[in-house]
Amino acid sequence: MAVRADEVTPGEFFMAEGQELRKVFRVATDDRGITCVWYQCKAAAVSGQPLLFGHTQANPPTLDRFIAGCAYRLSSPELDELRRRGILLRYE
């Protein structure tokens, strides 16, 4: 299923290509009117790994580019399963 722009909000998790787990950190529109997304990511199959920024903080992807790289937004049951498996850490 496709990701909608209104789903991309801080705190939401998405599954991206290559089984990359992404957590939206910030969404903002710059002075040119371009909406950008700051996100943290990690492998969705490796337990105990912390989230790290998936881009340089000075050059985040546009909202359209972020959406294009995501397959779907994770549901609460999917997040619970990732926490049970130790993929998502308690504080994430």
pLDDT tens digits for range 42-83: 999 999 999 999 888 888 999 999 999 999 999 999 999 999
State the chain's mean pLDDT as an integer: 93
Over residues 3-38, the pLDDT tens digits come to 999 999 999 999 998 899 999 999 999 889 999 999
Does residue 87 surpass a pLDDT of 90? yes
At 1 the pLDDT is: 58
- Cα pseudo-dihedral 70, 71, 73, 76, rounded to 10: -130
- pTM higher than 0.85: yes
Strand ranges (DSSP E) for the chain? 13-16, 20-29, 35-43, 52-53, 70-73
